[in-house]
Structure 1
Amino acid sequence: MTIEQAAACLGWNRFKLSRIEAGKTRATPADVARILDLYGVDPETHAALVQLARDAGRRGWWTGYSGVFTGGYVALEDEASEIRTYHVQLIPGLLQTEDYARAVISAGIPDDPAEVDKRLQARMARKTLLTRPNAPTLKTVLAEPALRQLVGGKSVMRDQLYELRRIARRPNVTIRVLPYTVGAEAGVDGSFVILGYSDPLDPDIAYSEGIYGHIYLESAEHVARCRVAFDRIWEAALDEDESLKFIADIATEPR
């Protein structure tokens, strides 16, 4: 059985399984049990390895939100040393204020306040990735529509724009803006993320999420195309100082 076949049987992406098997991503006891069941491991070894998983290291913080985070993306993001993102319509989760995040989440599940609260708590926990010791570097390009879309109303959006300027002061965070005037020249109209790792043997992972679910771009060719696209967008965007001024100007516009 190939790793692609095994991942498909488990309902995971190939990257999650390969990193678990290489010891580069922490696996929950449930994950370990599912892998061992698939591979037909004998009961004694099965029990020992599941117990080892229970005893091993710290639990990933995201395991407390198993109903919120699916597909293994957050675990992959948590272990990345570099995150490069491009967003067209919305501010990315790692940069969202609590009120902005609540508005986004509520739009997707308007009739379940308890679930909204749970997902909001999870999203705020995820944001701590950028402020922890040995935090990854984040390079984000925001297309102008993401800055102008009134998510949550005028006050919420204004606070979100000021939050972007505050976060951009962190040494590991760089934010650039792609204005309408150059958006078409960059030639990319969809949001995506590229995760990079400190181990040179770990390949970059490209990821995109939309209304029909999440997509992992697995082949080296596809990931390379995403790198080229990001570099093109990065160079077309305003530089850091111009971008922060652009954000401030939008925040102070009468609406």
Structure 2
Amino acid sequence: MSAEPTRDPSSVPAVTALSQTESPDRLIGAALRQLRLEREMTLQEVAAAQEISVSYSKLCRMETGKSPVKERDLRDLLRHYRAPRERQDMIAGLLREDRRTRGEKTISDLTPQWLERLILLEDSARRITAFERNVVPGLLQTREYARELVHSELKAEGAAHDEVTVDSHVRQRLWRWDSFEQRADCELEVIIGEASLRQLVGGYAVMREQMERLREVATGPRVILRIHPFDGGSLLAPRLPVTHLQFDDGGPQEVVYSETVVKAEYIVSLAHVERTRERLMHAKDGALTRVRSLEMLEHYVEKYQRLMDRSAGES
């Protein structure tokens, strides 16, 4: 099978990797921005408040993750926004985790709202590049595919996997795509391993619907979707699922993370960010063209339809 790089590597802009605190600072900033917007306050109004000792310019830097958040400023802002206790604890806990893990290669976000903050980060990105080897990425999952995957992974993690919990996870994944669709200024490039097309999740009907969904996305104008094949794909592609976000809002230029159903791992080591970026380029170089990828998706749509028909005939 032939493969095609998406662009000349020389045309890729140089990226300044994150410092050890920029990624979690952007997470905290996104959470603070969400609280402010919920209260329908402008940055000017917050900066002018008597109990707030943070300037307008610093508030801007804090919300974009460009300036570290101090504990006193965080406490004052949370009080000013009248944040619920559970959200105060969540954001304060994230700040403590940030300070505790300074100098480590990754920072884990294990708090209950980790996916909400991840979506906030994606909402402010100008480009999202994702690689997933074994399952369809969360951003592109159908409702039933997501339900089956979330249930099985929560169960395997020993976490609560009752219907209410699973439904909450599934709604957030669907919200993720809806949020992306509402934006016209963000590009999405997804490379998925051929194994994700073969791995049976929830049965033939669920898989056929998921393949149809991928086919629909692959023919759309705003998404580049390509398949990393078994025969011909790069051995240097990432071993684990990884997503690379790029920004142009004055904050950190990029965020690299790997996610599961229960957490996100943010890669903050300079060497690891650069190495992950290189592996993503190898994944792109080893992927099929968009046309060949679409042909493969058509093949799997037809395959699962045949399996459904055969199963129905045997019952």
Q: What letter corresponds to residue 137 of structure 2 in structure 1?
A: P
Corresponding residue number in structure 1 for 2:144:
99
Per-residue deviation at 1:67?
Answer: 3.7
CA offsets per residue over residues 70-129 of structure 1, 9 Å max, x none?
Answer: 583222122111000110111011101111111111213455111111221222111112
**Corresponding residue for residue 7 of structure 2:** none
Question: More displaced, 106-115 or 187-196?
Answer: 106-115
Give the CA deviation at 1:228: 1.5
SS in 2 for 1:124: helix
* Map of 2:25 onto structure 1: 17
| Partner residue in 1 for 2:97 | none
User: Measured at CA, do residues 100 and 205 of structure 1 come closer, stay the same or move farther in structure 2, by a change above 3 Å?
Assistant: same
Q: Give the C-alpha shift of residue 243 in structure 1.
A: 0.3
Q: Is the contact made by 1:20 and 1:27 (CA closer than 8 Å) also made in structure 2?
A: no
Is the alpha carbon distance of 1:155 and 1:193 closer, same or farther for their aligned partners in structure 2, counting shifts above 3 Å?
same
The CA distance in 1 between the partners of 2:27 and 2:167, in whole Å, is 31
Query: Once the two structures are superposed, what CA deviation does each residue of 1:190-244 show, in whole Å capped at 9, x if it has no partner?
Result: 2111001124663211111248943211133322222211111101110101101
Report what 1:119 is aligned to: 169
Cα separation, 2, equivalents of 1:147 and 1:78: 27
Larger deviation: 94-103 or 114-123?
Answer: 114-123
Match of 2:276 among 214, 226, 248: 226
Higher relative contact order (CA 8 A, sep 6+): 2
Q: 1:176 to 1:219 in 2, by over 3 A?
A: same
Number of residue pairs the alignment of both structures matches: 228
CA distance in 2, matches of 1:130, 1:70: 14
Deviation, 1:136, is 1.6
What is the percent sequence identity of the aligned residues? Answer: 27
Alpha carbons 2:22, 2:252 under 8 Å: kept: no
Letter in 2 for 1:238: L
Measure how far apart 1:188 and its partner are: 3.1
Gaps of 5+ in 1: 5-12, 56-65
Q: Which has the larger radius of gyration?
A: 2
Partner of 2:211: 161
Two-structure CA RMSD over aligned residues (Å): 3.5
State the alpha-carbon separation in 2 of the partners of residues 144 and 225 from structure 1.
Answer: 23
- Mark the CA change 1:145 to 1:193 in structure 2 (over 3 Å): closer, same or farther: same
Counterpart check, 1:28 vs 2:41: no
